[in-house]
Structure 1
Protein backbone atom coordinates (compact mmCIF):
# COMPACT_ATOMS: atom_id res chain seq x y z
CA UNK A 1 0.00 0.00 0.00
CA UNK A 2 1.40 3.40 -0.93
CA UNK A 3 1.95 6.14 1.64
CA UNK A 4 -0.52 8.40 -0.24
CA UNK A 5 -3.18 5.68 -0.20
CA UNK A 6 -2.67 4.96 3.49
CA UNK A 7 -2.83 8.67 4.29
CA UNK A 8 -6.16 8.99 2.44
CA UNK A 9 -7.56 6.03 4.37
CA UNK A 10 -6.36 7.54 7.66
CA UNK A 11 -7.93 10.90 6.80
CA UNK A 12 -11.24 9.26 5.91
CA UNK A 13 -11.18 7.23 9.13
CA UNK A 14 -10.45 10.32 11.24
CA UNK A 15 -13.20 12.28 9.49
CA UNK A 16 -15.66 9.45 10.00
CA UNK A 17 -14.69 9.17 13.66
CA UNK A 18 -15.25 12.92 14.21
CA UNK A 19 -18.59 12.82 12.38
CA UNK A 20 -19.74 9.79 14.38
CA UNK A 21 -18.81 11.39 17.69
CA UNK A 22 -20.56 14.65 16.75
CA UNK A 23 -23.70 12.73 15.75
CA UNK A 24 -23.65 10.55 18.87
CA UNK A 25 -23.17 13.29 21.45
CA UNK A 26 -26.17 15.22 22.76
CA UNK A 27 -26.10 18.86 21.53
CA UNK A 28 -26.04 20.18 25.09
CA UNK A 29 -22.85 18.23 25.98
CA UNK A 30 -19.84 20.37 26.86
CA UNK A 31 -16.22 19.24 26.61
CA UNK A 32 -12.86 20.75 27.40
CA UNK A 33 -10.79 22.60 24.83
CA UNK A 34 -7.71 24.69 25.62
CA UNK A 35 -9.62 27.80 24.42
CA UNK A 36 -12.61 27.03 26.67
CA UNK A 37 -15.53 24.65 26.85
CA UNK A 38 -17.11 23.77 23.55
CA UNK A 39 -20.12 21.89 22.27
CA UNK A 40 -20.45 19.35 19.43
CA UNK A 41 -20.90 22.02 16.75
CA UNK A 42 -17.81 23.84 18.00
CA UNK A 43 -15.73 20.66 17.90
CA UNK A 44 -17.04 19.84 14.43
CA UNK A 45 -16.05 23.29 13.18
CA UNK A 46 -12.62 23.00 14.82
CA UNK A 47 -12.09 19.69 13.03
CA UNK A 48 -13.05 21.27 9.71
CA UNK A 49 -10.69 24.21 10.20
CA UNK A 50 -7.83 21.93 11.21
CA UNK A 51 -8.21 19.82 8.09
CA UNK A 52 -8.69 22.75 5.72
CA UNK A 53 -5.87 24.99 6.89
CA UNK A 54 -3.35 22.19 7.33
CA UNK A 55 -4.20 20.87 3.87
CA UNK A 56 -3.49 24.40 2.64
CA UNK A 57 -0.15 24.32 4.48
CA UNK A 58 0.79 20.99 2.90
CA UNK A 59 -0.30 22.10 -0.58
CA UNK A 60 1.63 25.37 -0.27
CA UNK A 61 4.72 23.44 0.85
CA UNK A 62 4.44 21.32 -2.30
CA UNK A 63 3.74 24.39 -4.48
CA UNK A 64 0.24 23.12 -5.31
CA UNK A 65 -2.96 25.11 -5.59
CA UNK A 66 -5.80 23.75 -3.49
CA UNK A 67 -9.08 25.15 -2.26
CA UNK A 68 -11.96 23.52 -0.37
CA UNK A 69 -15.71 23.87 -0.89
CA UNK A 70 -16.97 27.35 0.01
CA UNK A 71 -19.76 25.99 2.24
CA UNK A 72 -17.24 24.33 4.58
CA UNK A 73 -15.34 27.59 4.92
CA UNK A 74 -18.51 29.63 5.44
CA UNK A 75 -19.78 27.30 8.15
CA UNK A 76 -16.44 27.28 9.96
CA UNK A 77 -16.19 31.07 9.79
CA UNK A 78 -19.70 31.55 11.15
CA UNK A 79 -19.16 29.11 13.99
CA UNK A 80 -15.60 29.87 15.10
CA UNK A 81 -14.85 33.37 13.82
CA UNK A 82 -18.10 35.35 14.27
CA UNK A 83 -16.32 38.71 14.44
CA UNK A 84 -14.34 38.23 11.22
CA UNK A 85 -15.69 40.47 8.46
CA UNK A 86 -17.27 38.82 5.44
CA UNK A 87 -15.26 39.41 2.29
CA UNK A 88 -17.39 37.41 -0.13
CA UNK A 89 -14.58 34.88 -0.52
CA UNK A 90 -14.94 32.32 2.30
CA UNK A 91 -11.68 30.45 1.65
CA UNK A 92 -9.56 33.61 1.47
CA UNK A 93 -11.31 34.89 4.58
CA UNK A 94 -10.62 31.67 6.49
CA UNK A 95 -6.98 31.81 5.48
CA UNK A 96 -6.84 35.43 6.69
CA UNK A 97 -8.66 34.54 9.93
CA UNK A 98 -6.01 31.90 10.66
CA UNK A 99 -3.08 34.16 9.81
CA UNK A 100 -2.21 32.43 6.54
CA UNK A 101 -3.09 35.13 3.99
CA UNK A 102 -3.50 38.86 3.58
CA UNK A 103 -6.70 40.51 2.46
CA UNK A 104 -7.07 43.94 0.88
CA UNK A 105 -8.06 46.67 3.33
CA UNK A 106 -7.55 44.45 6.37
CA UNK A 107 -4.44 44.34 8.56
CA UNK A 108 -2.52 41.10 8.49
CA UNK A 109 -3.02 38.82 11.45
CA UNK A 110 0.04 37.86 13.47
CA UNK A 111 -2.00 35.90 15.99
CA UNK A 112 -5.46 34.43 16.02
CA UNK A 113 -7.80 32.36 18.10
CA UNK A 114 -11.12 30.74 17.30
CA UNK A 115 -14.16 30.86 19.54
CA UNK A 116 -15.63 27.40 19.94
CA UNK A 117 -17.69 28.26 23.02
CA UNK A 118 -21.32 27.14 22.94
CA UNK A 119 -23.79 29.44 21.19
CA UNK A 120 -27.26 30.17 22.54
Structure 2
Protein backbone atom coordinates (compact mmCIF):
# COMPACT_ATOMS: atom_id res chain seq x y z
CA UNK A 1 0.00 0.00 0.00
CA UNK A 2 1.28 3.45 -0.93
CA UNK A 3 0.59 5.97 1.82
CA UNK A 4 -0.89 9.34 0.88
CA UNK A 5 -1.44 12.60 2.78
CA UNK A 6 -5.06 11.55 3.29
CA UNK A 7 -3.77 8.77 5.54
CA UNK A 8 -2.41 11.36 7.99
CA UNK A 9 -5.82 13.01 8.23
CA UNK A 10 -7.51 9.62 8.50
CA UNK A 11 -5.25 8.30 11.27
CA UNK A 12 -5.48 11.52 13.28
CA UNK A 13 -9.25 11.59 12.87
CA UNK A 14 -9.59 8.03 14.10
CA UNK A 15 -7.26 8.72 17.03
CA UNK A 16 -9.10 11.87 18.03
CA UNK A 17 -12.46 10.10 17.97
CA UNK A 18 -11.21 7.32 20.27
CA UNK A 19 -9.44 9.67 22.66
CA UNK A 20 -12.52 11.86 22.92
CA UNK A 21 -14.21 8.88 24.62
CA UNK A 22 -11.78 9.37 27.52
CA UNK A 23 -12.03 13.16 27.73
CA UNK A 24 -13.19 12.96 31.34
CA UNK A 25 -10.48 10.53 32.43
CA UNK A 26 -7.36 11.42 34.39
CA UNK A 27 -4.78 12.47 31.78
CA UNK A 28 -2.02 12.73 34.41
CA UNK A 29 -1.64 8.92 34.51
CA UNK A 30 1.22 7.27 32.62
CA UNK A 31 0.62 6.56 28.95
CA UNK A 32 1.00 2.80 28.74
CA UNK A 33 4.61 1.75 29.20
CA UNK A 34 5.97 5.26 28.60
CA UNK A 35 7.43 7.39 31.37
CA UNK A 36 5.30 10.36 30.23
CA UNK A 37 1.77 11.05 31.36
CA UNK A 38 -1.10 11.05 28.88
CA UNK A 39 -1.20 14.83 28.43
CA UNK A 40 2.54 14.95 27.77
CA UNK A 41 2.29 12.06 25.32
CA UNK A 42 -0.54 13.67 23.36
CA UNK A 43 1.37 16.95 23.33
CA UNK A 44 4.43 15.08 22.05
CA UNK A 45 2.31 13.64 19.22
CA UNK A 46 1.14 17.15 18.33
CA UNK A 47 4.76 18.26 18.29
CA UNK A 48 5.78 15.33 16.04
CA UNK A 49 3.14 16.18 13.44
CA UNK A 50 3.96 19.89 13.51
CA UNK A 51 7.71 19.28 13.33
CA UNK A 52 7.39 16.90 10.38
CA UNK A 53 5.31 19.48 8.54
CA UNK A 54 7.89 22.18 9.25
CA UNK A 55 10.79 19.98 8.20
CA UNK A 56 9.17 18.83 4.96
CA UNK A 57 8.12 22.39 4.12
CA UNK A 58 11.72 23.55 4.54
CA UNK A 59 13.09 21.14 1.96
CA UNK A 60 16.38 21.18 3.90
CA UNK A 61 18.33 17.94 3.72
CA UNK A 62 21.33 19.02 5.77
CA UNK A 63 19.79 19.95 9.10
CA UNK A 64 16.65 20.10 11.20
CA UNK A 65 14.57 23.27 11.19
CA UNK A 66 15.97 25.08 14.26
CA UNK A 67 12.82 25.16 16.36
CA UNK A 68 13.28 25.86 20.08
CA UNK A 69 12.67 22.66 22.01
CA UNK A 70 12.18 22.79 25.78
CA UNK A 71 11.14 20.44 28.59
CA UNK A 72 8.43 21.29 31.08
CA UNK A 73 10.10 19.13 33.73
CA UNK A 74 12.94 16.60 33.97
CA UNK A 75 12.11 13.53 31.91
CA UNK A 76 9.22 15.14 30.06
CA UNK A 77 9.17 15.34 26.24
CA UNK A 78 11.26 18.04 24.58
CA UNK A 79 8.73 19.96 22.48
CA UNK A 80 8.57 23.07 20.36
CA UNK A 81 4.75 23.14 20.57
CA UNK A 82 2.66 23.30 23.75
CA UNK A 83 -1.09 23.21 24.30
CA UNK A 84 -2.85 25.58 26.69
CA UNK A 85 -3.76 23.45 29.72
CA UNK A 86 -6.83 25.52 30.47
CA UNK A 87 -8.28 24.39 27.12
CA UNK A 88 -8.62 20.89 28.56
CA UNK A 89 -8.67 17.65 26.62
CA UNK A 90 -11.13 19.09 24.10
CA UNK A 91 -8.62 21.80 23.26
CA UNK A 92 -5.76 19.32 23.18
CA UNK A 93 -7.60 17.26 20.56
CA UNK A 94 -8.33 20.38 18.49
CA UNK A 95 -4.60 21.09 18.38
CA UNK A 96 -3.89 17.46 17.49
CA UNK A 97 -6.29 17.66 14.57
CA UNK A 98 -4.77 20.98 13.52
CA UNK A 99 -1.23 19.58 13.55
CA UNK A 100 -2.38 16.60 11.51
CA UNK A 101 -3.99 19.00 9.05
CA UNK A 102 -0.72 20.91 8.71
CA UNK A 103 1.24 17.76 7.85
CA UNK A 104 -1.51 16.69 5.44
CA UNK A 105 -1.44 20.06 3.66
CA UNK A 106 2.35 20.28 3.39
CA UNK A 107 2.68 16.70 2.15
CA UNK A 108 -0.15 17.15 -0.35
CA UNK A 109 1.48 20.29 -1.76
CA UNK A 110 5.01 18.83 -1.93
CA UNK A 111 6.40 17.51 -5.20
CA UNK A 112 7.45 13.84 -5.01
CA UNK A 113 11.11 14.75 -5.56
CA UNK A 114 11.26 16.96 -2.44
CA UNK A 115 13.61 15.67 0.23
CA UNK A 116 14.05 16.76 3.86
CA UNK A 117 16.24 15.84 6.80
CA UNK A 118 15.34 13.37 9.51
CA UNK A 119 17.62 11.70 12.04
CA UNK A 120 16.64 8.30 10.58
CA UNK A 121 17.56 9.35 7.05
CA UNK A 122 16.71 12.00 4.48
CA UNK A 123 13.14 11.29 3.40
CA UNK A 124 10.47 12.20 0.87
CA UNK A 125 6.83 13.33 1.28
CA UNK A 126 5.56 9.76 1.54
CA UNK A 127 8.16 9.05 4.19
CA UNK A 128 7.05 12.00 6.30
CA UNK A 129 3.43 10.92 5.85
CA UNK A 130 4.39 7.44 7.09
CA UNK A 131 6.23 8.94 10.07
CA UNK A 132 3.16 10.97 11.00
CA UNK A 133 0.91 7.93 10.69
CA UNK A 134 3.14 5.64 12.77
CA UNK A 135 3.51 8.26 15.51
CA UNK A 136 -0.26 8.65 15.59
CA UNK A 137 -1.03 4.93 15.66
CA UNK A 138 1.45 3.90 18.34
CA UNK A 139 1.07 6.92 20.62
CA UNK A 140 -2.70 6.53 20.50
CA UNK A 141 -2.06 2.96 21.66
CA UNK A 142 0.01 4.36 24.55
CA UNK A 143 -2.72 6.84 25.41
CA UNK A 144 -5.63 4.42 25.12
CA UNK A 145 -3.78 1.92 27.31
CA UNK A 146 -3.08 4.51 29.98
CA UNK A 147 -6.60 5.90 29.88
CA UNK A 148 -8.18 2.46 30.25
CA UNK A 149 -9.72 2.25 26.77
CA UNK A 150 -7.04 0.12 25.12
CA UNK A 151 -9.60 -2.30 23.71
CA UNK A 152 -11.19 0.56 21.75
CA UNK A 153 -8.07 1.20 19.67
CA UNK A 154 -7.14 -1.12 16.81
CA UNK A 155 -6.31 0.92 13.73
CA UNK A 156 -7.15 -0.28 10.21
CA UNK A 157 -4.91 -3.09 9.00
CA UNK A 158 -4.15 -1.29 5.75
CA UNK A 159 -2.71 1.72 7.57
CA UNK A 160 -0.50 -0.53 9.69
CA UNK A 161 0.59 -2.51 6.62
CA UNK A 162 1.39 0.68 4.73
CA UNK A 163 3.57 1.96 7.57
CA UNK A 164 5.35 -1.38 7.92
CA UNK A 165 6.02 -1.53 4.20
CA UNK A 166 7.37 2.01 4.03
CA UNK A 167 9.36 2.36 7.25
CA UNK A 168 10.11 -1.13 8.61
CA UNK A 169 11.69 -3.30 5.92
CA UNK A 170 13.30 -5.40 8.66
CA UNK A 171 9.93 -6.74 9.89
CA UNK A 172 9.16 -10.23 8.51
CA UNK A 173 6.35 -10.53 5.97
CA UNK A 174 3.15 -12.39 6.64
CA UNK A 175 2.49 -11.12 10.18
CA UNK A 176 -0.79 -9.52 11.28
CA UNK A 177 -0.19 -5.80 10.62
CA UNK A 178 -1.23 -4.24 13.94
CA UNK A 179 0.56 -6.73 16.24
CA UNK A 180 3.58 -6.51 13.91
CA UNK A 181 3.64 -2.71 14.17
CA UNK A 182 3.42 -2.85 17.96
CA UNK A 183 6.29 -5.33 17.98
CA UNK A 184 8.31 -3.22 15.51
CA UNK A 185 8.03 -0.22 17.85
CA UNK A 186 8.87 -2.14 21.03
CA UNK A 187 5.30 -2.24 22.31
CA UNK A 188 4.23 -5.84 21.86
CA UNK A 189 5.21 -9.47 21.61
CA UNK A 190 5.08 -11.90 18.72
CA UNK A 191 5.21 -15.68 19.13
CA UNK A 192 8.74 -16.98 18.84
CA UNK A 193 10.30 -13.55 18.33
CA UNK A 194 12.22 -11.67 21.05
CA UNK A 195 10.67 -8.41 22.19
CA UNK A 196 12.48 -5.32 20.90
CA UNK A 197 14.31 -3.24 23.48
CA UNK A 198 15.45 -0.71 20.87
CA UNK A 199 13.99 0.10 17.49
CA UNK A 200 14.06 2.57 14.64
CA UNK A 201 12.46 3.09 11.25
CA UNK A 202 14.06 3.61 7.84
CA UNK A 203 12.71 6.73 6.21
CA UNK A 204 14.91 6.86 3.10
CA UNK A 205 12.98 6.83 -0.20
CA UNK A 206 12.55 3.37 -1.65
Same fold by TM-score greater than 0.5: yes
Does the residue aligned with 1:112 lie in a helix, a strand or coil?
coil
1:53 aligned partner: 138
Q: State whether structure 2 residue 106 is matched by structure 1 residue 21.
A: yes
| C-alpha distance after superposition, 1:22-52 (max 9, x if no partner) | 1111111110001110111111000001111
CA distance in 2, matches of 1:86, 1:101: 17
CA contact (8 A) 1:86 1:93 kept: no
- Structure ranking higher on relative contact order (CA contacts 8 Å, 6+ apart): 2
Q: Structure 2 length as normaliser, TM-score?
A: 0.55
Instruction: Name the SS of the counterpart of 1:85 in structure 2.
Output: coil
How far apart are residue 76 of structure 1 and its match?
0.5
Match of 1:112 among 172, 194, 199: 199
Query: TM-score when scaled to structure 1?
Result: 0.92
CA RMSD of aligned residues (A): 1.5
Query: Is 1:96 matched with 2:203?
Result: no
CA distance in 2, matches of 1:37, 1:53: 22
Q: Distance in 2 between matches of 1:88 and 1:110?
A: 19
Please give the alpha-carbon distance, in whole angstroms, between the structure 2 residues aligned to 1:61 and 1:86: 30
Aligned residues: 119
CA distance in 2, matches of 1:9, 1:86: 36
Tell whether the 8 Å contact from 1:87 to 1:93 is kept in structure 2 after alignment. no
Label 1:9 to 1:24 Cα distance change in 2 as closer, same or farther (>3 A). Answer: same
Answer with 1 or 2: which has the greater Rg.
Answer: 2
